[in-house]
Structure 1
Amino acid sequence: MKSIFIKLLVSFVTIFSYSNGYDKKCPHSSQWNFTSRSYRCADQKTYICLFDLLKSVFTETCGPEDVSREGTKYTLNPNLEQVPCDAIQYQPFTFTTNGNSQCAFGKSLCISSGQILASNGSSLADANCRCDYTRGFDYIIPPKDPCLCKPAEEDCSCYIRKCDDDKVMIADYRCMKRVETILPEDIKCPLISRILLPEDTVPVDMKQFKQVSSSSTWSNQASVILIVIVIIFTGKYNIIF
């Protein structure tokens, strides 16, 4: 019976270790020179660590150094393949297989007080934010374009600016009298079609684009099952280790 328990224990440890393999990340670029030696690559520039689309893990190997165009990165499929940056990242310059495994920059989330997402940018450019005028927010420091703010270049902080009681803030952050007729062509900025409540402004693009991995959930489940088996066998058969 003890041998059966040991076999089950080994099986679950193997499964647990395998599931944790999905959490593997590439080393920091400063360590690539050292890491390339452990893989016996001919040169540091030939060591690559890229996401393997077929295995769904980051794979380290020796391969040819290559350069992709702006807004893209390399993956293995199984050979080098150029793909666009993830929706929450951007790459405004060329991507090299040497020292890189992901696009360079993460996009701004526009989740500070009063901010909303004006546009999600592109694979080449950061996202843009704006202050939510529907809740009375205006820019602390007006950006070059009042309709959007570039977080990488400008201070996009917002504050509540109260209009007079008989006025309301419109899309271009002017306070207008409620009784005045405002024509669409008189408003310089796009209207916000939906008021985002504070709880809705928590990483909108992360909710939409974040990659879901089952590794953490499966690891937790495997741990619980392993503990239960140990308790059952040690209690029922009084196994002494």
Structure 2
Amino acid sequence: MCKPTTNYTCLFDINLQINVYRDKCNRPRILGPGYKYVFQPNLNRAACSGNRYQPFIFETVGYSDCTFQKSFCNSLGQETYEHGDTTVDRKCICNTNKGYFFVRNSKQQCHCNPSTEDCSCYRGRYSYNKSIGLENIKCYDDLKMTRKMFLEDT
């Protein structure tokens, strides 16, 4: 359809009330991480939707939406630690108040990036001998304090 073929662009048209993609012969375009192109009525920059993210440059050749869908952090015992932004995935935490701990044995951070590591939680007994359990509890307590302070501000 387009010559050269790299000039082919197929993108979401946000002007229409229904989900429609339009194609057009246009020179390739690129955007920085966290953004995509849409027709509005011309090519315009748009941030990724809340459930997607774009960690690298967006190109109109072969792409019509931000590349990755965000993880849900809703497996057994998981909760969302951070929602992330348009360039990164959510981070998950295990709900230690209900007795859940990370399956992985890590002494780094209390949260987990589901895009790059196993964020599975298991239900176990609290033990002062398990450094991972103590770390998870401290992080979860910090998270609750942050949530409480945030809710009190509203």
Bin for the TM-score computed over the shorter chain: 0.7 to 0.9
Distance 2:47 2:72 in 1: 19
Give the CA deviation at 1:154: 1.4
Which has more radius of gyration?
Answer: 1
Distance 1:84 1:78 in 2: 16
- Segments of structure 2 that go 5 or more residues without pairing to the other structure are 128-132, 146-154
- The answer (yes or no) to whether the contact 2:94–2:121 under 8 Å persists in 1 is yes
TM-score by length of 2: 0.80
Matching of residue 159 in structure 1 with residue 111 in structure 2:
no
Name the residue aligned to 2:91.
Answer: 128
Name the residue aligned to 1:16.
Answer: none
TM-score by length of 1: 0.52
- Segments of structure 1 that go 5 or more residues without pairing to the other structure are 1-39, 165-169, 175-186, 194-241
Distance 1:90 1:142 in 2: 28
Distance 1:73 1:160 in 2: 40
Name the residue aligned to 1:94.
Answer: 57
- RMSD, aligned CA: 2.0
Name the residue aligned to 1:46.
Answer: 7
Name the residue aligned to 1:64.
Answer: 27
Q: Alignment partner of 1:123: what SS? A: coil
Amino acid at match of 2:78: Q
Superposed, 1:51-200 pairs within 5 Å as 51-56=12-17, 57-143=20-106, 145-163=108-126, 172-174=135-137, 187-189=138-140, 190-192=142-144
Q: Equivalent pairs: percent with the same residue?
A: 34
1:179-204: CA deviations, max 9, x gaps? xxxxxxxx4552337xxxxxxxxxxx
Give the CA deviation at 1:63: 1.7
Q: Alignment partner of 1:162: what SS? A: coil
Give the CA deviation at 1:55: 1.6
- The answer (yes or no) to whether the contact 2:81–2:143 under 8 Å persists in 1 is no
State how many pairs are aligned: 137
Give the CA deviation at 1:171: 7.7
- The answer (yes or no) to whether the contact 1:133–1:171 under 8 Å persists in 2 is no
- The answer (yes or no) to whether the contact 2:94–2:136 under 8 Å persists in 1 is no
Give the CA deviation at 1:152: 1.5
1:153-188: CA deviations, max 9, x gaps? 211110011137xxxxx88435xxxxxxxxxxxx45
Counting strand residues as a fraction of each chain, which structure ranks higher?
2
